[in-house]
Structure 1
């Protein structure tokens, strides 16, 4: 069974809406489209590149797919050529409530039973990468259909916008896979893996913790 890795960019208050550009997702009159751009540096850029190593399929929501399909097929700059070669070569699976025309070569529309479709993709590929696609990500989190969550937390607070965990989240244990690494501008990569069970509770004043009064 293959692995599903989620690549997610969020603010300190966990807003994940429209990090890439002003027109990416204006829902709710979101005024901060493109908030990630001023916080990119060499460290976070290298982390993003490394996160795609071994990827043999993309899993995208409709809005992210449209953005990618409008950019990567014609991208020829030296700086982005490795991404363009990868994205244009591998299969793209798209989650959508509608029936869009998918013109980007190698693109397929997932069926209406999204969890079942994702499980089928998992059997077909070794490393499926999910990029952006906030609504899709929330479904994967609820269904626990992921193996790794790469969460880049950026040092800003927006106060408005769609959040990574925005309603319908289920109790889930996750484990930190490696020490957090921060870029020069303060963006921190938190790399988590899905863990077994559900969150436990305890008593911080218990005698064995040395906190009792």
Structure 2
């Protein structure tokens, strides 16, 4: 059976919006875009990068909402596979693995090995999860995560927690999110003050 793993860069007050760049997501007039990138630039991202490299080496498919898919397709989907270092490595991997996209508006997908999940997203994801395989990775996609959690389809959360409070922005666990009891499976404190926490559903669930 596959494992649905949500990964997120998150602030102390739960914000996940626009961490990667100033124009990544300005919904609601969000003005703090790039908060994670700025923090990494100030403190160094070597440890964070190694952790993400370890995680992504286990990724066998991506599961994305429309907005995150479009961001990824416009970056990883067009970047040079022959680039050096982590960028080239991850570009090659993301191009080759399957990408499954939840969208009510898209009718076609241009990024190679991408396909739409169809109108019944929970049922489609349940089928994916039931197949033999490894980790199915969810990045961004807060609305999709909310849907998956509501149907008991998230097996693990990997949260990179930054010591920042923004006071505004989209949250991973917003009001009305399905209640869940999770187990802290692993925690790691980085020299920058960032915490890397892994939470799993108890096996008895």
Aligned residue in 2 for 1:122:
129
SS at match of 1:8: strand
Hey, what does 1:37 align to over in structure 2? 37
* Runs of at least 5 residues in structure 2 that lack an aligned partner in the other structure: none
Unpaired runs of 5+ in structure 1?
A: 199-213
C-alpha RMSD of matched pairs (Å):
1.6
Structure 1's consecutive aligned runs of 4 or more residues displaced over 6 angstroms after TM superposition are: none
Q: Name which of 57, 60, 65 aligns with 1:56.
A: 60
Contact conserved, 1:142 with 1:168, CA < 8 A, in 2?
A: no
**Higher mean C-alpha deviation, range 165-174 or range 84-93:** 165-174
For the residues of structure 2 that align with 1:73 and 1:120, how far apart are their CA atoms?
26
**In 2, Cα distance between the equivalents of 1:147 and 1:182?**
23
Give how far 1:126 is off.
2.7
1:122 positional shift: 1.2
Q: How many residues align?
A: 197
1:188 aligns to what?
195
Shift in Å, 1:90: 0.5
Give 1:197 shift.
Answer: 6.7
SS at match of 1:118: helix
3-state SS, counterpart of residue 143 of structure 2: helix
Aligned to 1:170: 178
Q: Give the superposition deviation at 1:99.
A: 2.4
Contact map agreement 1:42 1:183 (CA 8 A) in 2:
no
Where does residue 18 of structure 2 map in the other structure? 18
Kindly indicate whether residue 144 of structure 2 is the aligned counterpart of residue 136 of structure 1.
yes
| 8 Å CA contact retained: 2:16, 2:170 | yes
Deviation at 1:50, TM superposition (A): 1.0
Aligned residue number for residue 74 of structure 1: 78
1:25 is displaced (CA, Å) by 1.2
